[in-house]
Amino acid sequence: MPAVSVLKTPSYDPSVLARAVDSHFAFLNLDSLIEPSMKIVIKPNLIMRRAPEEGVTTHPALVAAIVKKLRSLGCQNILIAESGGGPYTEPLLRSLYKGCGYTAMAEETGVPLNYGTGSREVEGEGRITRRFTVIDPIAEADLVINVCKLKTHGMTMMSAAVKNLFGAVPGLMKPELHMRYPEKEEFCRMILDLNAAIPNVISFVDAVVGLEGDGPTGGTPKEVGLTLCSADRYALDLVNAAVLGMKPAEIIMLRQSIEDGLCPADLSQITLLGDVPADALCAAGPFQPPRSKQTDFTSHFPAFLRPTVKKVTKLIQPKPVIRKKDCIGCGKCAESCPAHTIRIENRIAVIDRTACIHCFCCHEMCPKQAIDIKRLSVFRL
């Protein structure tokens, strides 16, 4: 049975985190999976430049605790690497690391941050996509330590261990994948395929403070007081769903991973270690779901009706709408739009909806949360 450890971790105090990381290693016998000679990449969730206390990004103090633990095992070849939501360029990486508190943490621990912008293809046994371009550090790593933030997500319902590896795809290739797979079922399957192409992964979850509501960037911090860990990211996400108070069927990617036999169907098939029993996983209370769920209605209809339903759905699809009073004209939405359908006029973003593919990258990337997802009230879920 796959094993997942869940530990009460009430704060980001370095001594609290050091104890938690030590205990995760001990419960899961992680030392046996790590060789000092390994090239190790730590991949946090730094979707955008946001301060650690905003609950949007992985807290650097948890990453620092993991670095210190790896060093105590003799590992010296450790690199922190991420590709956030915008272009994958050195100046933007510098800004991202600084704004998320990683530059200061790297100076304190001496761990290097990746500023290279190279990428290459990796292959897996995916069902709809077998080849992916990923950033060089992840392609070259012997081991990826995936340190995600536990969040609700407007498109995938949950952003946790499996979803966090979407950040392995460099910069603006992410919106391209949104464009290739505009429907949620296919998009989630593509993320599972990407995971299959990145085999050697140990995942940690920063749920000391999670993010509820309009994640992955517009939600509200929620104190949960937990860290989680597993060498099995699919089983870990089943436990993460329980922490959110959600059923696996509500999270497409999790449901698909159960259907594909990657993930057990329920918690009774997971060895739960640590100090939090299964019935207390959601002790902090269920996470508020996203207000603007991006729903693909077609899956509710028989196959023969879906083409017609798709046409109707297009007409009633949720739409990105700029809240002009909050827009500062920064252009981040235009930069991330794979359909190139946003322009800045008089310092305000303007969307040409005729070309919009409803990927909502703009909604995710707006630093002012000035883009709402509007749908007809009769269809609001």
**Interacting residues toward ligand SF4 by CB under 6 A:** 320, 322, 327-333, 337, 339, 341-342, 349, 351, 356-362, 366, 368, 370-371
- Smallest gap from Cβ 48 to ligand SF4, in A, equals 10
Query: Cα–Cα distance between 299 and 138 in angstroms, integer?
Result: 34
CB of 188: closest distance to ligand SF4 in angstroms?
17
Pick 193 or 364: Cβ nearer ligand SF4? 364
Strands 40-44 and 143-153: parallel
Report in angstroms how near the CB of residue 348 gets to ligand SF4 at its nearest. 7
Q: Rounded distance, CA 271 to CA 339, Å?
A: 45
Nearer to ligand SF4, 212 or 372 (CB): 372
Please name the helix (run of DSSP H) or strand (run of DSSP E) that holds residue 79, with its range, or none.
Answer: strand 78-80
CB nearer to ligand SF4: pick between 222 and 358:
358
Single-letter amino acid code for the residue at 7: L
Dihedral-angle region of residue 369 (phi above 0 means left; psi in -120 to 50 means alpha; beta otherwise): left
- Cα(85)–Cα(181) distance, integer angstroms: 17
Task: Please give the structure tokens belonging to residue 359.
Answer: 């990927």
Q: Which is closer to ligand SF4, CB of 280 or CB of 356?
A: 356
Instruction: Spell out the residues 6+ positions from residue 259 whose beta carbon is closer than 8 angstroms to its own.
Output: none
Shortest distance, position 326 Cβ to ligand SF4, whole Å: 7
CB of 185 to ligand SF4, least distance (A): 18
Tokens of 219: 């939600």
Burial category of 230 from C-beta neighbours within 10 Å (exposed 0-12, middle 13-18, buried 19 and up): buried
Closest distance of CB 167 from ligand SF4, Å: 18
Q: How far is the CB of 308 from ligand SF4 (least distance, A)?
A: 23
Smallest distance, ligand SF4 to C-beta of residue 359, A: 4
267 vs 357, beta carbon nearer ligand SF4 = 357
Which residue number, 93 or 322, has a Cβ lying nearer to ligand SF4?
Answer: 322
Kindly tell me which of 247 and 324 has the beta carbon lying closer to ligand SF4.
Answer: 324
Cα–Cα dist 24/5, whole Å: 6
Neighbours of 104 (CB within 10 A): 13
Kindly report the number of other CB atoms within 10 A of residue 341's CB atom: 17
DSSP string, 344-361: EETTEEEE-GGG-----H
- Among residues 38 and 373, whose Cβ is nearest to ligand SF4? 373
- Measured from the CB of residue 216, what is the shortest distance to ligand SF4 in angstroms? 14
- What string of H, E and C letters represents the secondary structure of 288-331? CCCCCCCCCHHHHCCHHHHHHHHHHHHHHCCEEEECHHHCCCCC
The smaller minimum CB distance to ligand SF4, of residues 257 and 336, is found at 336
